Amino acid sequence: MSLTELMTQIQELPKIDKLRLMQFLVTELVREEDQNVFVENQEYPIWSPYNCSEAANVLMNLLATKQQTQDG
């Protein structure tokens, strides 16, 4: 199938299928560039601010210090 035929068929697709095609193509391009890309259906840990009381204490101290300097 030629590129021209393929483009004609793509134009006939519904919008959602065009979006899925775009997502597929972008994912394929990324995989070609970097083999360490995220894998589909894989879980990855992320940082969360929950249970970070030490960070909260630092922020509270900064706010208290700023309030004291503004008051005077």
Domain residue ranges in the chain: 1-38
Helix residue spans in the chain (DSSP H): 3-11, 15-33, 53-71
Buried b (16+ CB within 10 A) or exposed e, 19-53: eeeeeeeeeeeeeeeeeeeeeeeeeeeeeeeeeee
| One-letter amino acid for residue 16 of the chain | I
End-to-end CA separation in angstroms for the chain: 77
> Does the pLDDT of residue 29 top 80, yes or no?
yes
> Does the pLDDT of residue 58 top 80, yes or no?
yes
Q: What value does the mean pLDDT take over residues 55-72?
A: 88
Q: Is the pTM of this model over 0.75?
A: no
Which range is most confident: 4-13, 26-35, 63-72? 4-13
Contacts of 31 (CB under 8 A, 6+ apart): 37
